[in-house]
Structures are given as C-alpha cells and as structure tokens.
Structure 1
Amino acid sequence: MSFINDESFLLNNKYAQELYFNYAEKQPIIDYHCHLPPEQIAGDKVFENLTQIWIYGDHYKWRAMRTLGIDEKYITGNGTDEEKFRAWAKTVPYTLRNPLYQWTHLELKRYFGVETLLSEKTADEVYREVNQKLNTPEYSCRNLLKNMNVEVVCTTEDPTDSLEHHKALAGSGYEEVKMTTSFRPDKAIMIADEGFNDYMAKLGEAAGMSVESFDDLRDALKKRVQYFHDNGSRVSDHGLEQIYSEDYTEAEVKAIFEKRKKGKTVTDQEALKFQSAVLEFLSETYCEYGWVQQFHLGALRNNNSRMNALLGPDTGWDSIGDFPQSIALSRFLNKLDSRDKLTKTILYNLNPADNEVMATMIGNFNDGSVKGKVQFGSGWWFLDQKDGMTKQMNALSNMGLISCFVGMLTDSRSFLSFPRHEYFRRLLCNLFGEEIQNGELPADMEWIGKIISDICYNNANEYFGF
C-alpha cells in the first residue's frame, strides 16, 4: 500500500471511503479559530520560499528539530532560509509516528503536488520545485486558502488591535474567503503579570479613555467588544490554565485593582478573585452581544525560563498541564446559566485525562435553547493528531451527541495547515465506517452521510453564523 494513498489513507474500509468521498471531502472549510496573520491575508502576501511559509513560527517543527540536536541557529537563529529548510528536511525522516511526518507529506502533496519523501537527500530538489511554484501570484495567501476550499478564517486579536487589516479586506470587495476575528482579552484578566499596568494604559488608549479603576476597565473592555462587533467579530477566545470562579465582592475587586495600579503585588487569592470577576463580566458581555465564547484550557506555558528569556513566548517551551478543571468550570458555567447569561460556549481541553470531564460537563448546560449550545471542542494543540482527535470524538460520542459537534479548526499560524481538516474528516469517517462494518451502526449511508456533512460544515455554519 502506498504512503498517503488518496483512496485509503486513514480510511480502512469501503464504508469509510464512501462517507469521506461522498459527504466530507468537498465540504467548505470554516476555520473558526486560527492565528494566521491578518496583514498577510489582507495584503495577499506571496512568500519568497518554503521556509518562510512553512518553518517560520511553527513551534511543532522547532521542538522536533531541537530533540534531534539541531542547533538553534537553524531553527529560530540567523541561519539562512535554505539552511533552515535543510535542517528541517534532515529532521523529517526521524519524525516517524509523530503526526508531523504525515502532515509534512500531506501538505507537500495537497498544495504543490510533491510526492517525494522529504529527507536530507531530497531537500534541495523539493526546495527548488516548491519555491518555483510558491513564489508566484497563483500561490499567494488568498489563493492558498481558496485552493483548500476555505470559506471563513477567524483570526485571533487582542482587544487593543485596530483591526485595520480586517477592515481593509472587508472594504476591498474581495469575497472569495471571509476573514473575521476573535476577541482575546487575556492580558486584561491576568492582573499578576508584570506588564499589567502598561497594558491598562494601552487598553485605555484603544478605548479612548483612561483606565484608572475597575469600573473604567469594564467600560474599556465593553467599548472594545462593541468595536470588534461593529467590525464583524462574533467570537471570543481565552487561553487559560483553568477557569476562574472564586467568590468575590465588588468592593474587594475594586480594592485589588487599585492596589495593583499603585504598583503593589497582589496575592494569589486576590488575583483569583479579580480574574474571576473580569472573566464573569466578559462572559456576560459576550452573551449580551450574542457571541460564541471559546476557552482553551490546560496548557502549562513557558516551562523553560532560560529559553523563554532568550526567545520569548510561543517558541516551543509549553506542555500539557494537569490543572483541576471540573469544580471551577461547573461553578463558572452555573453562575452564568443561573442568570440566563450563558452564551454559546466551546470548551477545549489539553489534558486527555479530562476528556470525559469535558464531555459530561457540556451536557449540564445544554438546555434545549440552541442546538449544541455548549460544545466539547476538537482535539487541540498536542491532541490534534490521530490518537488525540479519536479519543475526543469517542468521549463526545459516548457521553454526548457527536451529531451536534462543530468539528475541526486549525489553531495554526501556517497557511499550509489546512489539510488538517482533511486529516480530521478522514478520521471521522473511519470511526463511523468501522462501526458500520462491524454491524454496530446500520449501513444507512444517506443518514450517516448527513451527520458527517453536518460535523464537517453545516453545524459550524449554523452555530457561528459568520
């Protein structure tokens, strides 16, 4: 059997193949959470070479290269783009059984028609062949999205962002791929962070006001939500270790803010109270505006202090955390629900030990008002691979309704990452196909095909309403 055979890749029987090719393959992509640079989409950037589009910013690849013993010069350092590509090509054969191996070759094949196995020996050949195509208008950012049948990309921006690139694209008359954004206000929540006061000044400037009190902070955040809403945003996102849901009083939170504004250190308990208050306020605001809120929970970030000091965050020094999730999450969702302030919510879990916690938690707050109102999001970050996605889908199937699932997203900074939707869709179809073959599900291909189409596209299209 050939590697990445289009007919059989991840599809282990005829039922899986029929479901994929008839109901999943051609569905448009709604990538409702990613980190693509909006300026590159708005400017329709053409990349000079494969290193720039494929290796820059990709900490998945960086971690693998470091593990193999590649010097940082050829990862994030001052090595040439060609040297960095050769270093990655040298690494690829050693990534067998890591999803990077399949992703690498799937991306080369889908975007550029290259079926050569990448290695140190084939590096120069692949680099030349791809660069000849990539460095042309036909392979610009927008065309790369269009060729992958992407309908919507939802980037991720801080509340202080001007959204100038989103506005520019919206006003350009370009309609083939829609670009919107999610609102990511974590810096306004993390009061113990060293740069909190500086951020308050920046937030105030963006909101056209001075943020000197907790009331001011709420006003500034609401103004920025309104600004994002006016510019087409309908989604928020938070990257937190765990949900905050401490009891607090208004007076306590105001005093904690004033203490921090004076440059004093807040205690851990004070930080938790403040974080809980701001998160609750934001979630109520999202509900008021009819947004979807997303919570990416469980990452233990910046573990290597030495390398974090040299390279900064998001450079490959994060891992799965084992934070307790259920009690605070239940309290948080219940507080909002009891006041009828719980908007549509997606919970992403990074610790697979908590899959069943998340799969059962969503059922506590799916109240019949909206189909799939509270979602258990797809396998995320370290879990967006065969085993992680399969476990997430099995937990959701066993303890909820996978038929209401809004499906896959890239959560990526790379324009070459969209075959991950294909990867997900093949795994999804194989799950159903194997159970049809085993007699565990009926061979009702029309009905099961509808469920597959819903998960791949229709549910997200209805849920987000982009």
Structure 2
Amino acid sequence: MKNNTIQTVNGRKALIHSGFLLENRYAEELYHDYASKMPIIDYHCHLPPADIANDKVFGNITEAWIYGDHYKWRAMRTLGIDEKYITGDATDAEKFRKWAKVVPYTLRNPLYHWTHLELARYFDQYNLLNEDTADEIFDAVSGLLNTPQYSCQNLLSKMNVELVCTTEDPTDTLEYHQQMKQSGQAIKMSTAFRPDKAVLINNETYNDYIDKLEEVSGISIISYKDVCDALKKRMQYFHDNGCRLSDHGLNHLSFEAFTDEEVDTLFQKRRSGKLLSEAEASKFHTAILLFLAESYHDLGWVQQFHLGALRNNNSRMNRVLGPDTGWDSIGDFPQAYTLSRFLDALDIKDKLAKTIIYNLNPADNEVMASMIGNFNDGKIKGKIQFGSGWWFLDQKDGITKQLNALSNMGLLSCFIGMLTDSRSFLSFPRHEYFRRVLCNLLGDEISRGELPEDIEWIGKIVQDISYYNAKEYFEFQ
C-alpha cells in the first residue's frame, strides 16, 4: 500500500491523507513504518472464485462496487431511494448517481470512510463523492476498471494481497480453485468449507440439499450416518484441494444431550417432510456440529463460527429478493452456556481444533473474549481466537471495542487480525482501515504513558497482528 501524500483537494484538506485516523506521531510512525508494509492475508471473504481465476474485468464502477453490496443498499433504502436504482432495472450510471447522492448523508457511517478510502487507494480519486462529482468519477473510474490493468487479480495486487480465502458449500466442485492453482499466479486462493445447509435441518430446502449432497458425494443417503459419511468424503475432497478452514454462520451454538438413535430418527422425520420442534432441531444441530468439529480437528483445520446474526427479518422483501440482500440485523441470543459446553465436549476428547469465534452482538464482547481463555491450553499460540469486528461491527467503534475486550481479557499480541468478509473486490482497504485504528489505539496509549515509548517492540506487535500471526496460524498450502 502506498502512502497518500496529497493533503489538499481544491484548496481543502483531503479527507483521505497520510494522517487519516492517526491522531499523534506515535500512531503515524506505527502505521507508516510498520503496519502499512505488511501484505494482506484475507482469510475469510465471499469473493466469487470464478472472477478471480478468470481474472474478470469489470464494465464499470457500479458493477464492481454496488452490485451485491447490501451495506450500500440499506443506506440507499434509508434515504428513500427506490429499489429500481438499487437491485432493479435502472442503468448502471443511474444507480451510481443515486449512490453518489446518498454518500454525503452517510456521515459517521463507516460507508463514508470506506467509500472515499476505496476511491483513493484504487483510483487516486480524492474528491468527495456527491451528486456534483458523480458523473466525473463514474467516467474516470469506469474507464480504468474497464482495462486489464484493473482486472480482479490486479485489483488484489494493488492492495498487496498475498492470499484470499473464499467460502464454498460442500457440493462445490472447486474447479476455479484448481484453475487458479494451476495458473501459477502469485496471488493464492484457498477456500473454507461451509456446510450450514447440511446442518440447519428445518430449512425449507433441506431435503433438496441432501439430494444434491447425495449426488455429488456418490453416497446413498438413507440415514444420519450416511449424511456424516457424505460430508466426510467432501471434507477430504476439499482437503485434497488445499482447504484448511471451515466456516459456520449460526445464531448460536447448540448443545443438547442426544443419542445416535435419536438423531437418526429426527433425520428420518425431516426426510419424510415433517419439521422438527425447536428442541429436536437443537439435538440434531449439536450432533452434526460435534461430528464436523471432530472431523476438522482430525484434518488439522481451523474452524470458524460466526455467531449472533438475526437474518431475513423482512419476510416480504426476502420473498422478493432472497437472502443476503440487506434485511439482517444483530440478534440477542444466549451464547455463553451452550458455547462453553460445545467447546468443552470437544476438549474432553482432545478434539478441539483451532477455533475462531466471531461475535455480532457488542453486548457479548466480553463473554467471547473471556470464553477463549478457557480453552487456550498452551499447545498452540492463540489456539482459540476472538475474531475481528464482523458485519455491523467492522467499523471504527466496533473494531475498537473488540480490540479493547480482547486486550482486557486475553492477549492482543496473539490476535490474527482483520478480514474483509466481503463480496467486493474493492473492499481490501478495510485492512488499512483496521490497521490505522489499531495503530491509533496503541499510539494514543503511548502518548498518555500507558504503554512504553518502545516503537520497535510495539511495531513488531502491530506487524504480527497485521500479518505474521495469521500466516503462522493458518498454515495455508
């Protein structure tokens, strides 16, 4: 990442400049001399593997920046922008103009910072985006994006990305990961195994999914044991193709006593078309998640749990647009007890893999930050991680609160740092954003005498959090 030396635009101080978010000289030194030099390992994102492997070139900025970005969609809807200009049939230029109209109204929302950071870092655009600058920026940026120099792989290279880890269902062929590996590109692409569709037994499409899993695995799925066998076969396929992570997006981790016979009966009940009660579903979730987690341990994988989202709240719009279109929020699920029992059940058998727990409810930060210490057993540095600020919490305040909770309850120095969790190729300045927040937090405490004026040592800690801890933790192939 290059440092921005432009301080003014049209006679005014630019929003994005070398001291952005850095409030004193210690913060600036930590960021510019240590953090900014580090490559990016983005160990969890939702980028389309086909676009990376095929090195897609975008037609314009709307295609690259607004398609699929439900953060922007929510802001546009809030300001009263018609759905035609969000997910509808308006032209890309019209959609961009509407987004440009919204941007000045996003003050203090992280979108305001991200928007201008992304324009600056990828395209050297330092003007504020608004209705007056919309057409000029659309033309200039789209003109760059529509060239091979701004292809998907080159966009990653511009941000010094060393590796991206996408997220795939067990039924995926991984053909694009294979293609990328064979290409010999400097940027590496790995994947995370995400079997939620096999876990969430009351989903409307569950039986259709089991049919698909049966077809892809080549295993006839008659019983619950067959489900496990099919998943295990797919895990081995993913492992053989370089996968070293799993991922789950759940309200909370279940933990209910069960027998194998009970779980098989519940599976047969669902296959017959009947829904399970909440207690029955919880038994099934516990059983299959424990099976998966033990399998991850046996493979030497890292397991990730994204906890606390309340999804698809607007049933009317969910029917129209489907999931992941901007109708989710923070949930307030009980977390501590069942999470503790789940991790303990694995630890008792010495089957607890490296684990990252992401929390979406800030009220649970200290719960999660203290929970990880229960199962860090001294065998692996930072074995159990409190994951970075996620989704609604990946902004300055959320990042700071997560860093503070982790610092107070554990060891910040062992933290594996930031990820994008994004579907956008233009989201990688979020790593810079995180690093600037981290450096400012530490720089402020140096200035107040709460940390020693040992820039070299604290700079090393910053580099570990930014890059080296993740590189050591994941052991990507």
TM-score range, shorter chain: over 0.9
**CA-CA distance at 1:204 after TM superposition:** 1.0
**CA-CA distance at 1:354 after TM superposition:** 0.1
Confirm or deny that 1:456 pairs with 2:452: no
**CA-CA distance at 1:78 after TM superposition:** 0.6
Task: Report the equivalent of 2:191.
Answer: 181
**CA-CA distance at 1:3 after TM superposition:** 3.7
Structure 2 distance, partners of 1:265, 1:25, is 52
Could you list the structure 1 runs, at least 4 aligned residues long, displaced by more than 2 angstroms after superposition.
1-7
Give structure 1 stretches of 5+ with no counterpart. Answer: none
Is the 1:212–1:261 contact (alpha carbons within 8 Å) kept by the matching residues of 2? no
- Greater displacement, 114-123 / 261-270: 261-270
Confirm or deny that 1:79 pairs with 2:90: yes
**CA-CA distance at 1:26 after TM superposition:** 1.1
Deviation track 1:336-367 (CA, whole Å, cap 9, x = no partner) reads 00100000000000000000000000000000
**CA-CA distance at 1:206 after TM superposition:** 1.2
The number of residue pairs the alignment matches comes to: 465
Equivalent positions of 1:203-218 (< 5 A) are 203-218=213-228
Confirm or deny that 1:138 pairs with 2:149: yes
Task: Report the equivalent of 2:320.
Answer: 310
Confirm or deny that 1:106 pairs with 2:117: yes
> What amino acid is aligned across from residue 120 of structure 1 in structure 2?
E
Task: Report the equivalent of 2:30.
Answer: 19
Task: Report the equivalent of 2:374.
Answer: 364
SS in 1 for 2:306: strand
Q: 1:60 aligns with which of 63, 71, 77?
A: 71
> What amino acid is aligned across from residue 180 of structure 1 in structure 2?
S
Is the 2:258–2:287 contact (alpha carbons within 8 Å) kept by the matching residues of 1? yes
Task: Report the equivalent of 1:383.
Answer: 393
Is the 2:356–2:384 contact (alpha carbons within 8 Å) kept by the matching residues of 1? yes
Equivalent positions of 1:193-208 (< 5 A) are 193-208=203-218
SS in 1 for 2:337: helix
Q: State the identity %.
A: 69
Closer/same/farther in 2, CA of residues 5 and 171 from structure 1, 3 Å limit:
closer
> What amino acid is aligned across from residue 176 of structure 2 in structure 1?
H
Structure 1 distance, partners of 2:241, 2:388, is 27
Is the 1:201–1:210 contact (alpha carbons within 8 Å) kept by the matching residues of 2? no
Structure 1 distance, partners of 2:160, 2:371, is 33
Structure 2 distance, partners of 1:339, 1:446, is 42
Is the 1:158–1:183 contact (alpha carbons within 8 Å) kept by the matching residues of 2? yes
Is the 1:49–1:131 contact (alpha carbons within 8 Å) kept by the matching residues of 2? yes
Task: Report the equivalent of 2:246.
Answer: 236
Structure 2 distance, partners of 1:273, 1:237, is 20
Is the 1:184–1:238 contact (alpha carbons within 8 Å) kept by the matching residues of 2? yes
Is the 2:57–2:150 contact (alpha carbons within 8 Å) kept by the matching residues of 1? yes
Structure 2 distance, partners of 1:256, 1:249, is 11
Is the 1:184–1:237 contact (alpha carbons within 8 Å) kept by the matching residues of 2? yes
Q: 1:323 aligns with which of 330, 333, 348?
A: 333
Deviation track 1:370-414 (CA, whole Å, cap 9, x = no partner) reads 000000000000000000000000000011000000000000000
Structure 2 distance, partners of 1:346, 1:419, is 22
Task: Report the equivalent of 1:148.
Answer: 159
Q: 2:303 aligns with which of 283, 286, 293?
A: 293
Confirm or deny that 1:69 pairs with 2:80: yes
SS in 2 for 1:25: helix
Give structure 2 stretches of 5+ with no counterpart. Answer: 1-11
Structure 2 distance, partners of 1:2, 1:350, is 35
- Greater displacement, 288-297 / 205-214: 205-214
Deviation track 1:279-300 (CA, whole Å, cap 9, x = no partner) reads 0000000000000000000000
Is the 1:297–1:350 contact (alpha carbons within 8 Å) kept by the matching residues of 2? yes
Structure 1 distance, partners of 2:133, 2:376, is 52
Equivalent positions of 1:382-401 (< 5 A) are 382-401=392-411
For the aligned residue pairs, the C-alpha RMSD in angstroms reads 0.7
Structure 2 distance, partners of 1:45, 1:7, is 31
TM-score for the superposition, normalised by structure 1: 0.99
Task: Report the equivalent of 1:435.
Answer: 445
